[in-house]
A and B are shown apart, each in its own frame.
Chain A
Amino acid sequence: MTEALAAPPRPSPAPEQPLLDVRGLKTYFHTLDGVVKAVDGVDFTLPRGGTIGIVGESGSGKSVTAYTLMRLIDIPPGEIAGGQALFEGRDLLTLPMGEMRRIRGNDIAMIFQEPMTSLNPVFTIGDQIAEAVKLHQRVNDREAMNRAIEALRLVGIAAPERRVKQYPHELSGGMRQRAMIAMALSCEPKLLIADEPTTALDVTIQAQILELIKAIQERTGAALILITHDLAVVAEVCQQIVVMYAGRVVESGLVTDVLLRPEHPYTQGLLNSMPSDKKRGERLTAIQGVVPSPFRLPPGCKFAPRCVYAWDRCQEEPELLASGDRLVRCWLQAPGETARRARFEADAAATVEALLNDEPEPGAAAESPPA
């Protein structure tokens, strides 16, 4: 830890070391009504330049995961109750705050959901980006402003030397989100965390921003954690996916594996919930019930009360088990449950079938399990 402090240009670590390795992350909030285990068991590994999408519904803990990695959780009432988050070998969760501040912006930058509330309305866009640059790098004001202009140009804002003098309210929603991205990029981070970056935007603007994030990610080689509730956005942008439910990872793996052959009933349920033209005129197969209150989580598997495949074994909480290249938290994937698994797999194949385009790519045939 101390060597890293002393030497600002860090020696590049071994190539096989992942950029970020999160293990058993737990974040609790102590409220008057009791303890909310917002994040209770999150594991994932992100290689250098990799892209990972974290999906889940509201309350699943996906945003809290991101805030915990950035150490932006207020303590108290929050508490990082366990786990590790190794960023280039250093545990983000135990770093002193001063050092964490150096990592934020420089190494890890974050794009927030609502660009209007996360930009300061009384400063110009240029001042805000330049402020970030000056905080993290030894540059003078003029140089910082030049960097701000460059960053705005990179995100596709024309005439950036004039835009830097505008205030957030003078920009449109899409433009503000671009300014946020420019700010995040201004210090060339190694990891970009985007928390629902397109949720507040219109479809055509969402397309602009997603294409922008992809292009920038390819150009700068930064790794990306994309937090969203939209599976389709993850399918477009990410290589890996983490599906969260009630503070836990329920399934994770390559996007092409998880979305084309879901192994957790919740993932399948999310795919089922998506309307598509093939489902016109039929009812959608909705997931029953609602996300449980964080104060009254069911014992055992947290998804069991809403799961159509649940049986008595689900009274006990399953571990996150390796299943091929992925991790799944479900008893269906446990050894010996062949009959139940076969039933689920047949349903899951039908789910995926109803969602995908008719003509699969040649070579992508070997994925459907025997129905």
Chain B
Amino acid sequence: MTEPLVPAADGSAAPPESTSESAARPAAEAAPTAAPAGRAGRNGSQPLLQIEHLKTYFPIFGGIFRRKVGSVYAVDDVSLEVKKGETLGLVGESGCGKTTLGRSVLRLTEPTAGRVVFDGIDVASLKGDSLKKIRARMQIVFQDPMSSLNPRMPISDIIGEGLLAQADKANGWAKRDVRDKRVGDSLESVGLRREYSRRYPHEFSGGQRQRIGIARALALQPDFIVCDEPVSALDVSIQSQVLNLLLDLREEFELTYLFIAHNLSVVEYVSDRVGVMYLGKLVELADVQMLYRDARHPYTIALLSAIPDPDPRVRKKRLVLKGDVPSPAAPPSGCHFHTRCWLREQLGNPENCATEDPPLREFAAGHLVACHWAEQVSTRTVATAAAQTPAVVTADLVDEEAELPPVAPLPGPTDALGPDSPQGPTGP
């Protein structure tokens, strides 16, 4: 039962030389609905982006001197690589650090530690001109098309701003007409008319604004785009239009995507490989089909079980997690997931879940899992857990109760508007 844990923990999650392993993978798990030829061919290529032990912590200041009293461990030792031409999906619930990871890669948020190697260059150590140069090759599409476009700028300036920043003698982007031509091309490539460049953001619908956000990312002809929840603010019919656009652009410009989203069906649809994050850690990473069919981390399984099924004939028994995601400022000891883990409960709460942080180990070729007990996951254990899920799952976790205000006798006559202090025990 206690499989010797492969000490593949650090970094070797994605060693740069392991092309042999990645080349073997697509052949091994060739599913019936194989990806079209154009995409399958790219999988074996060189990594474009390597993230090694990336940590991004945000300080918490407190007290009258605003001293640092703690940290939010937004991204906590994540290592992964993105191959040229592939789409790596990143899923997880809010607060799991997926957005921070995306921003740290571009250094929009400074990482606390770790390396980000883009095409052989360590991004984390770059400064000044060389950082600016590499940023032209890495772009981002933001989630909210309302707040990510400056309402006071016409589209030509919104898209042209990046060009202006990158202007030099060779490209001539300092001249407005040269720049505007590029802006127009960019707009056309996302299916908007060139003339729209004179308009302002408020003149567009949500879907069109997201297209503008994509056009801005494309204007500098990047190799790599971080798509941070690009469709979650959009309506269903518009969402599919934008997804189609992203797929078309990937083909046309040979783009590599880091696709961040919380909608698991969308991620399944666009990604080649998918990573699952929980409380700042990467807990599972695998080929999209492997992950959706044969997930091994108890959290991934619960996440997949939570997707509503559009088939009204099936009333599936869900495996519902209890409680909420704990605070990333005070993550649980050992495995961050152990407080909500159904597998641990079924195995009789083994000690090491609470004490030892499980390393991300290679469970099968190209399938990385950070769980001590991944071997115990089977259709039987999952079914048992689903069967044991009560109809009303409690919202609280046991250890969370400690932070609640103490029990006091019910307040006496309060007028409905008298807000008595929640913390202070109202004296009996």
Contacts and interface: CB of A to CB of B under 8 A. Distances in A.
The answer to whether A and B come from one shared complex is yes
Interface of A: 57-58, 122-124, 127, 130-131, 134, 140-142, 145-146, 154-159, 161-163, 165-167, 170, 172, 174-175, 178, 202-208, 210-212, 214-216, 229-233, 235-236, 255-256, 259-260, 269-281, 283-287, 290-291, 355-357, 360-361, 364
A124 B422 contact: yes
5 contacts: A178-B395, A208-B395, A232-B309, A260-B312, A270-B236
B324 A175 contact: yes
Contact of A210 (B205, B308, B312): B308
Interface of B: 33-36, 39, 93-94, 205, 207-208, 235-241, 243-244, 247-248, 262, 264-266, 268-270, 288-289, 292, 302-303, 305-315, 318, 320-322, 324-325, 389, 391-396, 401, 404-408, 410-420, 422
B306 A204 contact: yes
Contacts of A166: 404-405, 422
Given A156-B395, A274-B236, A290 B205 contact: yes
A203 B422 contact: no
A123 B417 contact: yes
A287 B240 contact: yes
Given A130-B416, A206-B306, A275 B265 contact: yes
Contact of A235 (B238, B302, B308, B415): B308
Given A166-B405, A172-B324, A277 B313 contact: no
Q: Is the interface of B mostly helix, strand, loop or mixed?
A: loop
Report, nearest first, the 4 A-B pairs whose CB atoms are least far apart. A275-B269, A232-B308, A207-B306, A215-B391
A310 to B, nearest CB: 16
A283 B422 contact: no
A331 B139 CA distance: 47
Nearest to B416: A131
A174, A276, A277: which has the most chain B beta carbons within 10 Å? A277
Given A167-B422, A281-B36, A286 B324 contact: no
A357 B237 CA distance: 22
B405 A165 contact: yes
B422 A235 contact: no
B310 A232 contact: yes
A141 B411 CA distance: 9
Contacts of B401: 158-159, 162
Nearest to A172: B324
Given A158-B394, A256-B313, A277 B306 contact: no
A211 B416 contact: no
Contacts of A165: 405, 408, 420, 422
A307 B39 CA distance: 32
A158 to B, nearest CB: 4
A207 B419 CA distance: 33
A281 B237 CA distance: 18
A56 to B, nearest CB: 9
